Homo-oligomer: A and B are copies of this chain.
Amino acid sequence: MSHNTFGHLFRVTTWGESHGPAIGCVVDGCPPRLAISEAEIQGYLDKRRPGQSRFTTQRREPDTVKILSGVFEEGGVLLTTGTPIALEIQNEDARSKDYAEIADKYRPGHADFTYQAKYGIRDWKGSGRASARETATRVAAGAIARKVIPQVNVRGALIQVGPHKIDRANWDWAEVERNPFFSPDVRAAEKWADYLDGVRKSGSSVGAVIEVVAEGVPAGWGAPIYAKLDQEIASAMMSINAVKAVEIGAGFAAASLSGEENADEMRMGNDGVPQFLSNNAGGVLGGISTGQPVVARFAVKPTSSILNPRRTVNQQGEDVEVMTKGRHDPCVGIRAVPIGEAMLAIVLADQFLRHRGQVGA
């Protein structure tokens, strides 16, 4: 069972609400003797942290991570011991009063109504567990997952904001580090800046599409039938707040291709390793990695926290209007980039360990 746990041999259990004292996660099953540090984890958290540009929420959380267990110092280096690694982040900038007005109103597009329907109670302060704040702990866990598979390079990029897509011909990974959108296309980033300024000023929001890529995955990871690598990637991405769609390789476009176009042909490489001549498969065939880059895309809906009034009902069963007063993200999809990377790293670390368990290499 896995309501708040992801993974099997490499397992992440998260806990905590947006406006409680802290959030955290427990990373279980990590191999021993991997060097980790709070500073390194912090680097990934800082990429996700809000308030770094005018395009994300102005909530100011330092998101300082502490490692509470599962490590031991040898020669000045913190090493994993193979036991559970507990990570914790204090909540600091919680303004619960921003939420008082919506204590009994179901915000459209939010989980207010469904949590109440399920549990008969909900933590309405800062959306409780449904807040994107939970994803900070995923990013921290993802930093550890990367150490499990050092041969793999997991990167992500924003490739669409609202209706505006990048031009893939301009793709430059180096550019991703330089603009506030994680855009691989510098010209798209410029366009998005203007576009999002308008969205932000109008109190509205827009969706986005993120692409995550893992290079260096050898052929053979994943498993048939119900533990397919692409299945677990789909599960991982769809578990992120506000994600409504996910695709692997050619994805939905594969429906329109012919069998000849779609099936990636092979030829022997000069190094004696089979080469694929294209990558419509997104690096996965039959649920198992091919050795090509693993490529996934996912769509994030526009945040439903907007400054314009919307029709809804309240807990008393009355028709009312609601509008968000707190700080808001005009495009939550931006901050989803490091989250998608983290989830991909977690899936791959887990599949690597499971593969090694069954097959031994």
Q: Is the CB of B277 within 8 A of A311?
A: yes
Q: Is the CB of A238 within 8 A of B244?
A: no
A28 at the interface (CB under 8 A from B): yes
Interface string of A122-157 (1 = CB under 8 A from B): 110000111000100000000000000000000000
- Point out the residues of chain B lying under 8 angstroms from A358, CB to CB: 9, 29-32, 82, 353, 357
Contacting residues of chain A (262-286) with chain B, CB-CB under 8 angstroms: 262-268, 272, 274, 277, 280-282, 284-286
- Point out the residues of chain B lying under 8 angstroms from A232, CB to CB: 235
Contact of A303 among B226, B259, B264, B265 (CB under 8 A): B259
Q: What CA separation (Å) do A261 and B73 show in the bound complex?
A: 34
- Point out the residues of chain B lying under 8 angstroms from A254, CB to CB: 207, 244-245, 299-302
Q: What CA separation (Å) do A120 and B58 show in the bound complex?
A: 45
Contact of A286 among B111, B247, B260, B281 (CB under 8 A): B111
A76 at the interface (CB under 8 A from B): no
- Point out the residues of chain B lying under 8 angstroms from A208, CB to CB: 255
- Point out the residues of chain B lying under 8 angstroms from A260, CB to CB: 204, 306, 308, 310
Q: Is the CB of A312 within 8 A of B235?
A: no
Q: What CA separation (Å) do A280 and B109 show in the bound complex?
A: 9
Pick from A10-18, A36-44, A47-55, A174-182 the stretch touching chain B: A10-18
Q: What CA separation (Å) do A121 and B32 show in the bound complex?
A: 7
Q: What CA separation (Å) do A117 and B223 show in the bound complex?
A: 12
Output the least CB separation between A179 and chain B (Å).
19
Q: Indicate whether A256 sits within 8 Å of B163 (C-beta atoms), given known contacts A81-B121, A224-B129, A272-B317.
A: yes
- Point out the residues of chain B lying under 8 angstroms from A129, CB to CB: 69, 81, 83-84, 224-225
Q: What CA separation (Å) do A284 and B301 show in the bound complex?
A: 13
Q: What CA separation (Å) do A350 and B121 show in the bound complex?
A: 22
Q: What CA separation (Å) do A15 and B225 show in the bound complex?
A: 10
A184 at the interface (CB under 8 A from B): no
Q: Is the CB of B82 within 8 A of A359?
A: yes
A86 at the interface (CB under 8 A from B): yes
A194 at the interface (CB under 8 A from B): no
Q: Is the CB of B13 within 8 A of A256?
A: no
A193 at the interface (CB under 8 A from B): no
Interface size on A, residues (CB 8 A): 153
A338 at the interface (CB under 8 A from B): no
Shortest Cβ distance from A209 into B: residue:
B255
A246 at the interface (CB under 8 A from B): yes
Q: What CA separation (Å) do A308 and B250 show in the bound complex?
A: 21
Output the least CB separation between A35 and chain B (Å).
11
A56 at the interface (CB under 8 A from B): no
A356 at the interface (CB under 8 A from B): yes
- Point out the residues of chain B lying under 8 angstroms from A227, CB to CB: 1-4
Interface string of A100-115 (1 = CB under 8 A from B): 0000001111110111
Q: Is the CB of B119 within 8 A of A81?
A: yes
- Point out the residues of chain B lying under 8 angstroms from A130, CB to CB: 224, 286
Could you give 7 example pairs across A and B, Cβ below 8 Å? A4-B83, A21-B66, A82-B359, A107-B263, A162-B258, A258-B302, A356-B360
Task: Give me the 10 closest cross-chain CB pairs, A-B, nearest first.
Answer: A111-B286, A357-B357, A109-B263, A245-B247, A205-B259, A114-B288, A207-B255, A117-B219, A32-B119, A108-B263
